[in-house]
Structure 1
Amino acid sequence: MSQHRASLDIDRKARAYAPVLPVAKQDAKTRLGHFEEIYLTYEAEIARAEASRCIQCPDPAPCVLGCAIGNDIPTALRLVEEGSFIEAANIFRRTSPMPEICSRVCPQERLCEGSCTHGGGVSLQPIQIGKIEKFVIEYQYATEGIPLGEVEPDTGKTVAIVGGGPAGMAAAERLRRLGHAVTVYDANPYPGGLLLYGIPAYKLQKERVVKKIEQLKAIGIQFVANTRIGQDIPLQQLADTFDAVFVGTGASVDSPPRWDGADLHGVYTATEFLIRCNVPVDLQPPALAAKGLPDVGHHVFVIGGGDTAMDCVRSALRLQHALGYSLDVACAYRRTEAEMPGSKSERVNAQEEGAKFDWLTAPVRFIGDEQGTLTGIEFVRMTLGEPDESGRRRPVPLEGSEFVAPADTVVLALGYTPDSLLGETTPSLTTTRWGLIVIDPVTGKTSLPNVWAGGDAVTGPELVGTAIDSALHAAQSITEYLRA
């Protein structure tokens, strides 16, 4: 063995044994008093020390393979270790159009960090890749302001983007940087989609989304708000007007409830609840802005087990500060914690903040008084049977286990489906019976000649990084089409 290889192995062994340096977060009592981000940002020397734990795996590095958009994480970590923070930020920006977003909202424990060699090695603690990424991007903002980057000369080609969420923003930025004129149409009063109207501010502060939109405007992207394509403007009209169209409308329609009493006062969809809790009034759709904060009683149940359910639980707990009285907030889930699809760290945060969990519990009906106001929920206990099509054990009701719990407020976090409007109003656009847009899996092209699609409108609810990746592939295909 050469001396160089021996020293490298010794260095890797030392790095593998180095303890993790986690980012601090505010204590539960403090963070319940506001809707601001709860995780602090690394200080420079701590970030360098944490980055130095990277053993620089040979290509292809597991963390890169685990990243939805293929960030060159080893190079970025090496630069952070050296103190070259701006250069590291630009490495992330080379493949990610919104590292300020992904560093906060991606479930790193299931992606890059979940693939990290350290996670299965001696330390059993993956490198805090997401928190390091957040640090270098915040450092860049503080040092250089909003980075505008390069935009190629105008091509004379025009592209319409339908939807201003993660997929739409990613496609818009990539296409604009390639020199095309880009206009984004969004149904909401302000762009951002899920990032603004779905993810709570304590995970992703709204200022970061607004700054991202400002960056996109500064490089020449036009935004048209309060315009629902398929209703205000036909999709076919856009296709006839622009050289190309990208559809990234997401999956933002709440799955319908199947229980009696779902129309009672005090029963909320996750979307309405989160918008009214988290979004500044001047950015909310007028119909919701007029209602103010949700009318929440002392006994709150959230039905569901994904990340949206945790968002609703933790938002409800924060309402205590504004309302001035305590809330009993519980999440009812029909399986056990082992089957929950959401982030474990989010469940831990919710438990720290006072949330309760009723495992193996499913609603039967919602109970109301003569005025149509929710007063309680009839639940049934469940047991787990054989695995279903998802691979998880199927919940089976236990006969005779029904019981009634008092409830003033219920939030239904049952998942999301795409808006079927485009398919219903555009006969030549091929969609599935669930409303998903059918595309060529390689190019992202739809059944309309100059229309592409990506993100949750195609896949159903998925990760932000996955939506971005599909949008970037579609943008490349669009550019090849425009250059032909």
Structure 2
Amino acid sequence: MTIFEAFHKPGGVLVYGIPEFRLPKDIVAQEVHFLERQGVKVECNAVVGRTVSLDELFEQGFDAIYVGVGAGLPRFMNIPGENLVGILSANEYLTRANLMKAYKYPEVDTPIPKGKNVVVLGAGNVAMDSARTAMRLGADSVKIVYRRSRDEMPARKAEIHHAEEEGIELFLLTNPTKYLGDENGRLVGMECLRMELGEPDDSGRRRPVAIVGSEFTVDCDLCIVAVGSGANPLLTSETPDMKLNKWGNVVTDPSTGKTTKKAVWAGGDIVTGAATVILAMGAGRDAANSIHDYLTLGW
């Protein structure tokens, strides 16, 4: 995943870890080029926490660091057969398809699996994106498998509607229990259980309960797992003096973005968990104001 760390020092701001941009018409590239014109230097192909640590950046002369590494750690179901060929995280699938332009393969170097019978696990906006991408890449059928009912689906209603318009099937109140493979270790199907809704859980949604004896099999040759993501651990695991919560997110002052490590701020999904772009933008602005105060007045 893209990693952004912005550092202030005399001469401007340095942003580490942004992949190299080649398409000037790309919206994100336009934003990057605008920042470059303001004096920001972009350091490509750097993984902060692996190629360089935060302390090493301070040693290089940087005065302040902003961490915005996001929640880029894919989550899986942890069910038997998960290592079969044909099971991908939505992160990888959509990165290949969109950022790396795999839909143009072999004109580009990045391939992407194009299943005929595709299953997407999850019911959020990322799941809808994955399902519609799979359909547009030539799948004969695409099924969204979700353990709750339509009312509990977290995706926007418009996303669900558009997915159904494109022929995506909704397999609701269905929970996968096992992946099935052939003699070559390739995915050929998935065992599922039918569910019913019980009492609400901590999230306020009714808890799905398995119906005993309701096992059935779904044929599939590609499964895209879109059940959420966790905190990107590459940087945080190498920064022991920066406090994390039980989910691995960085603990910050909610009004300033200050972390427990001096001269380090954080914001976005690495703090809140997977959320919205607008919240991340707001966090960045709050942190920028706080960084300005720090550089002017001190910590």
1:213-362 to 2 correspondence within 5 Å? 213-240=32-59, 241-281=61-101, 290-292=109-111, 294-320=112-138, 326-362=139-175
In terms of mean alpha carbon deviation, does 418-427 or 373-382 score higher? Answer: 418-427
Following the alignment from structure 1 to structure 2, what is the Cα–Cα distance between the partners of residues 218 and 385?
A: 56
Identity %: 40
Shift, 1:243, TM fit = 1.0
TM-score, normalised to structure 2, is: 0.90
- Deviation per CA, 1:354-408: give whole Å up to 9, x if none: 1111111110100001110001000110100100110000111111111011111
Decide whether the 8 Å contact of 1:266 with 1:296 is kept in 2. no
Of 209, 233, 236, which residue of structure 2 is paired with 1:396? 209
Any gaps of 5 or more consecutive residues in structure 1?
Answer: 1-161, 197-204, 283-288, 321-325
Following the alignment from structure 1 to structure 2, what is the Cα–Cα distance between the partners of residues 266 and 471?
A: 38
Decide whether the 8 Å contact of 1:239 with 1:451 is kept in 2. no
Letter in 1 for 2:36: K
Shift, 1:227, TM fit = 0.5
From the CA coordinates, give the structure whose radius of gyration is larger. 1
Following the alignment from structure 2 to structure 1, what is the Cα–Cα distance between the partners of residues 114 and 293?
A: 52
- Deviation per CA, 1:6-61: give whole Å up to 9, x if none: xxxxxxxxxxxxxxxxxxxxxxxxxxxxxxxxxxxxxxxxxxxxxxxxxxxxxxxx
Following the alignment from structure 1 to structure 2, what is the Cα–Cα distance between the partners of residues 236 and 370?
A: 49
Structure with higher RCO (Cα < 8 A, 6+ apart): 2
Aligned to 1:466: 279
In terms of mean alpha carbon deviation, does 439-448 or 400-409 score higher? Answer: 439-448
Shift, 1:163, TM fit = 2.9
Following the alignment from structure 2 to structure 1, what is the Cα–Cα distance between the partners of residues 3 and 93?
A: 21
Following the alignment from structure 1 to structure 2, what is the Cα–Cα distance between the partners of residues 257 and 180?
A: 47
Aligned CA distance change for structure 1 residues 427 and 280 (closer, same or farther; 3 Å): closer
- Deviation per CA, 1:151-201: give whole Å up to 9, x if none: xxxxxxxxxxx933xxx6xx78xx89xx97100011x5237xxxx9xxxxx
Following the alignment from structure 2 to structure 1, what is the Cα–Cα distance between the partners of residues 76 and 168?
A: 25
Following the alignment from structure 2 to structure 1, what is the Cα–Cα distance between the partners of residues 95 and 235?
A: 24
Aligned residues: 289
Letter in 2 for 1:445: K
Shift, 1:299, TM fit = 0.6
Cα RMSD of the aligned pairs, angstroms, is 2.3
Structure with the higher helix share, 1 or 2: 1
1:405-424 to 2 correspondence within 5 Å? 405-424=218-237
Shift, 1:290, TM fit = 5.0
Aligned to 1:183: 14
Shift, 1:229, TM fit = 0.6
Shift, 1:263, TM fit = 0.7
Aligned to 1:117: none
Structure with the higher strand share, 1 or 2: 2
Following the alignment from structure 1 to structure 2, what is the Cα–Cα distance between the partners of residues 455 and 297?
A: 34
Counterpart check, 1:451 vs 2:264:
yes
Shift, 1:469, TM fit = 0.6
Following the alignment from structure 1 to structure 2, what is the Cα–Cα distance between the partners of residues 239 and 255?
A: 33
Aligned to 1:130: none
Decide whether the 8 Å contact of 1:230 with 1:421 is kept in 2. yes
Decide whether the 8 Å contact of 1:365 with 1:378 is kept in 2. yes
Following the alignment from structure 2 to structure 1, what is the Cα–Cα distance between the partners of residues 120 and 132?
A: 10
Shift, 1:337, TM fit = 1.2
Shift, 1:256, TM fit = 3.1
- Deviation per CA, 1:300-352: give whole Å up to 9, x if none: 000001111011001101101xxxxx520010111111101111111111111
